[in-house]
Every structure is written in structure tokens, then in C-alpha cells.
Amino acid sequence: MRRRTFLAAGAGLAAAAAAPAHAGTRRVLHVRPGDSVQAAVDAVTGPGWTIVVHPGTYREVVDVPADKAELTLRGASRDPRATVIVYDNANGTRKPDGSGTYGTAGSATFTSAAPGLTVRDLTLANDWLRADHPDITGTQAVAAYTYGDRTHFENVRLLGHQDTLFVETTALASFDRQYFRRCRIEGDVDFVFGRATAVFDECHFHTLQRDVTFTPKGMVFAPSTARANLYGLLAVRSRFTSGAEDGAYKLARPWVPSYETTAWPSLVVRDSWIGPGIDPVAPYTDMREAYPWQTMRFWEYANSGPGAVVSVPDNRPQLTAAEAAAHTPHTYLGDWRPYAYR
């Protein structure tokens, strides 16, 4: 099978070294084809920088450390397809230095621990494919691994297969907040997962076709919310589409990691359109028998579409209107206001 292609427009632009400029009080670095996005990140010397990445495909791994606070990384075009950062490590990919494999988090094309990060108008992708590596059993391949409070993604495409987007926290006791607005997120198995307090507002979740005979072919969400956290993952005003046959996917399953067996996964999907790719009869399933989904905090409210039909009420827990009032972007994000919410 050939690798998925994320070729960007403008990839033939002449290369130019990243050069600083000034825009108001923010300091700006420009990255063009032939430059390194990571080199620009490394050149940031404190909070309040903007890195503008010009149209092209940047095949590299990018890591934004915690000391790059309040960084903005954005595509130069408003079209997120024009600027692509992509790589192809997986959990089971061996490191070049022979020290072992990358693991799930280490497979990420893009990693950030920086508080106040903003990413917008570009694509982050992991194009590793199972079919190209039948010898590798660790098939998780992360496009973006984000942790750090006040992480904001706007108009970003997040593309991968298994474990596309890892929304995590800086520590087990932290409730880091993340906000994704008008993003497209693609994958097949547990492709939005983690323990952050994460809001997905007007996002498009797309499940991929898989060349397998079993169902479910995968799950959209796998939250691992800490028991002490009132809020986990929230999808609001979003839509769910699929490239697979009807009913091939589950909406979610709970992830209780071996390193945090007290986790109490939380997911609310509300005011969203759910297409026929999601199993309407039994949209949730278990990851491990010891942690059945029925004991988790899985709820829906005011959803529509063929994948949202409530035919077996016990299989689709619904919030009341009063309960739904506690599950909004405002309540999840608290005093952080990336947007004035409707």
C-alpha cells in the first residue's frame, strides 16, 4: 500500500532562511520550504513569538518545549492544506541510535508542552501505515501530542490513523485545558485520546476506511480523564463523517491506563451531527473488561443524524437540559476565554 499523500500547494517555492521580523509587540519568524520548522522553534527566546510557516510540505518532527510559552505557530495561508508538517514514526519504530522504540508519545510528528500555545491554519500529519510495516505491532502513530494549559488549535487538520491526537496534561494532578475550533481530525482507532480537559468546537471528525473484516473498525474517542477532574472531552456543534460502511465505528471507549488505574474517563458529545458511520445501536464499547464503559462518564445531548438515533436508551446515556448546562465550553475552560462563546 502506498503512503498517504499530504502534498501541499507551493512546495516549489524558493528556500529562504528563517528571518526575524516585527509585527506590533510580537516577534515573528518566517519559515519557507527548505527551512526547518524546528530550527525556528529553537530560535524562539521567550514568550510572545509567532512562527509563520509558508506553503509547502515540511517532513520533520517538531517539538515545542515548555519554555516557549505563548508561542503562535501558523500557516501563512488561511488554507490549512497549503502548509503541511508530516512525519512517519510509530510506537514500534526503532530509534536510529538503537535505544529501543519510540513508544506512543514519542511517535508524534508534533509535540508541545508550552502553555498558551496557538496553532492555526496548517496540517499536522503522521503518514505511517500498518500495511507498509507488517513486522511492527506497536501501530500507534501520533500526529500531535499536546500538553500544557491553554492550548488552542484553530483551523488545523490533524491527520493519521491510530492515535492521531493525544490530548494530555503536564502531570497526573494537572487539568490542562485545550481548545480546538473548526479543526478536521481523521483516524481509525482511538484517534482522539488522553486526559486533558479538551473542547472540540465546530470540529469535523472523520473515520477512515480500513481493509479489515472485523467490526468495530475503530473508535473516535478514548478519554482517560482523572477521577478528580469534573471535565474531560467535550465535542460541541461538531460533525462525524466516515469513509467506511455504515455502523463500522464506535463513538468511544474508555481508556484506563496502567499507570493511573483510578482514571474515570469523561466524554460529552452534544449539539452535533453524527453520520451513519457510527453504530447507532451500541455506540460505546470497552477497552478492557475490568473497566466497562457503563461505569464511565459518557453522555450525549441534543445530537442529530443517523448515527445519533436512540434505539436502545441504555446504550446511549442522555443529559437532561439542566445537566447539559454544566457541559459547555465556558464551564470546561473556566477563566480562559479563547473565544466569546455563544
Most confident of 86-90, 169-173, 209-213: 86-90
Exposed (0-12), middle (13-18) or buried (19+): which is 221, by Cβ within 10 Å? buried
Each residue of 285-334: pLDDT tens digit? 999 999 999 999 999 999 999 999 999 999 999 999 999 999 999 999 99
Q: Integer distance in angstroms from the first to the last C-alpha of the chain?
A: 45
By the 10 Å C-beta count (0-12 exposed, 13-18 middle, 19+ buried), 35 is classed as: buried
CA dist 134 → 20, 76, 128, 316 (Å) = 45, 38, 12, 36
* Contact residues for 253 (Cβ-Cβ < 8 A; gap 6+): 190, 219, 221, 222, 284, 285, 286, 287, 293
Residue 213 has pLDDT above 80, yes or no: yes
The answer to whether the CB of 121 falls within 8 A of the CB of 77 is yes
Is residue 3's pLDDT more than 90? no
pLDDT score for 340 = 55
| pLDDT above 80 (res 114) | yes
Cα(100)–Cα(333) distance, rounded to whole angstroms? 38
DSSP string spanning 152-170? EEES-EEE-STT-EEE--S
Residue 224 has pLDDT above 70, yes or no: yes
- Annotated active-site residue 190? The verdict is yes
- CA-CA distance, 265 to 257, in Å (whole number)? 10
Q: Is 104 helix (H, G, I), strand (E, B) or coil?
A: helix
CA atoms within 13 A on the CB side of 164: 27
Q: Which of 127, 163, 176, 188 is catalytic?
A: 163
Catalytic choice (88, 188, 190, 279):
190
Q: Mention every residue, 6+ apart, whose C-beta is less than 8 A from residue 322.
A: none
CA distance 330 to 109: 30
Q: What confidence category does residue 339 fall into, taking pLDDT thresholds of 50, 70 and 90? A: confident
Q: Beta 157-159 vs 273-274: how paired, if at all?
A: unpaired
Region for residue 75 given its phi and psi (left: phi exceeds 0; alpha: psi -120 to 50; beta: otherwise): beta
